[in-house]
Structure 1
């Protein structure tokens, strides 16, 4: 049984990190595919407490997933792909997309909706709905086992339009640090120095740094950390050489007691002093 303390902790984490959260489908909602497909409305809200804000999101992708707390498996096709965030209707603070689940492909069981929101260069979020149930389905992609009541959400700073992480690139060198808005921010890359220097005096490449403090407390996280990337001129190669075995595995190790020729004995200092006298 899940304790009340654990449920409160999960709610606290979601309130801190979960800027985008799915409202519908709800927990253990049941849908029938007797007509050949399941049509549902996926509704979510953006609390606008932390980045990315609703007006900074460019695209949404909606995908059907299944799995347990040990992992989530999603369909390769999208229920809704590259949905333009600027054209989404908003009602009572909720955004909505209508999707259809093919009853000839998907089977019965408990599933969850994955919602990936892309804010371009500066970040993305991947969140999940609560598990819901599909019945009267005729497909083979089913899920009859244990379901995950709390799929783990994901927050990254870089992503493509599908919500997948992409490699950090040199584009961050073009974005001034003070203009970045992600929870993780990247200082501009240091360029490779030229082979020949002609300067005779030192000149600061950037103006002196300054620190400004908030005048009033805030109730949200603006930045978590700064990550410095390696320069583009550094070659990164995977070392495929296997690690050597431990000394105990190759016979090089020995018990220290095997090397002791004389056994230490306890000496009474008072008796030793008497004999010396």
Structure 2
């Protein structure tokens, strides 16, 4: 049993770059004036990618269950990693601020998207906290004491010391793509067509959605990446051992054009052709 716990602890420590220190679970935050400011603090856990490999961080206010994460795009806050430095305790801090009108009272958590241009990205979620005295109209009633698991899409970049275990993102794939709002979204697995077609009329797989257009240039990304799962099935194939068909000249499909020619070919000089064309 002890060995099992050691394995679990080791497995949980290989994911991520970002080890979240604050905010702590169960905290409460209120706006000052019309702005809410939450200090997000994290440390480098010395796994791949290291914080020195990160180019930027994007913070989003999120709510909902671990299986149905919803984020408020209007709270998107992106900062360059070079602007965030470690303190004397090797902790990194960013003041995540947003207008109190963008959210209502309720339980929330923060998504941290650490992006490395050469390695990929990781997603981490802070413990859940409560916002109160907010001026937003949508109150969040869902409440739990756990945050969503971390997610990652990292390539080793030739480093043989990188852990090959991947984070379980299966929960994210259960949310319909059109209902996802995070910077990273999860597409359904590609399926193969059947061998027969039984439908006689077409039907829409997904409902239509509204289209809205920007009136000004947006200063942040609406989406960073789409993750598509690999196949959970295997396509079988075999070698075609049938003898190749012979070339037309060998199977009677080819013929000499002269064999169908009924008139004798004649050669006319160019002068005669020009004379006949001008007559």
TM-score by length of 1: 0.53
Contact 1:69 1:147 in 2 (8 A): no
Taking a change above 3 Å as real, the CA distance of residues 243 and 71 of structure 1, as seen in their structure-2 partners, is farther
Contact 2:74 2:102 in 1 (8 A): no
SS in 2 for 1:142: coil
2:119 to 119, 122, 125: 122
2:162 to 218, 222, 228: 222
111-120 vs 147-156, which moves further: 147-156
Number of equivalences: 170
Gaps of 5+ in 1: 1-5, 159-176, 184-220, 226-237, 247-277
**CA distance in 2 between partners of 1:12 and 1:142 (Å):** 39
Hey, what does 2:28 align to over in structure 1? Answer: 30
Contact 2:31 2:134 in 1 (8 A): yes
Contact 2:16 2:152 in 1 (8 A): no
Contact 2:114 2:123 in 1 (8 A): yes
Hey, what does 2:107 align to over in structure 1? Answer: 110
**CA distance in 1 between partners of 2:65 and 2:5 (Å):** 18
Point out 4+ residue stretches in structure 1 off by more than 4 angstroms.
6-13, 238-246
Taking a change above 3 Å as real, the CA distance of residues 34 and 59 of structure 1, as seen in their structure-2 partners, is closer
1:62, distance to aligned residue in structure 2 (A): 0.7
Alignment of 1:140-151 (within 5 A): 140-147=137-144, 149-151=146-148
Gaps of 5+ in 2: 166-189, 199-279
Alignment of 1:1-277 (within 5 A): 13-33=11-31, 35-48=33-46, 50-81=47-78, 83-91=79-87, 92-147=89-144, 149-157=146-154, 180-181=158-159, 222-224=162-164, 241-242=193-194, 244=196
**CA distance in 2 between partners of 1:151 and 1:144 (Å):** 17
Taking a change above 3 Å as real, the CA distance of residues 240 and 155 of structure 1, as seen in their structure-2 partners, is closer
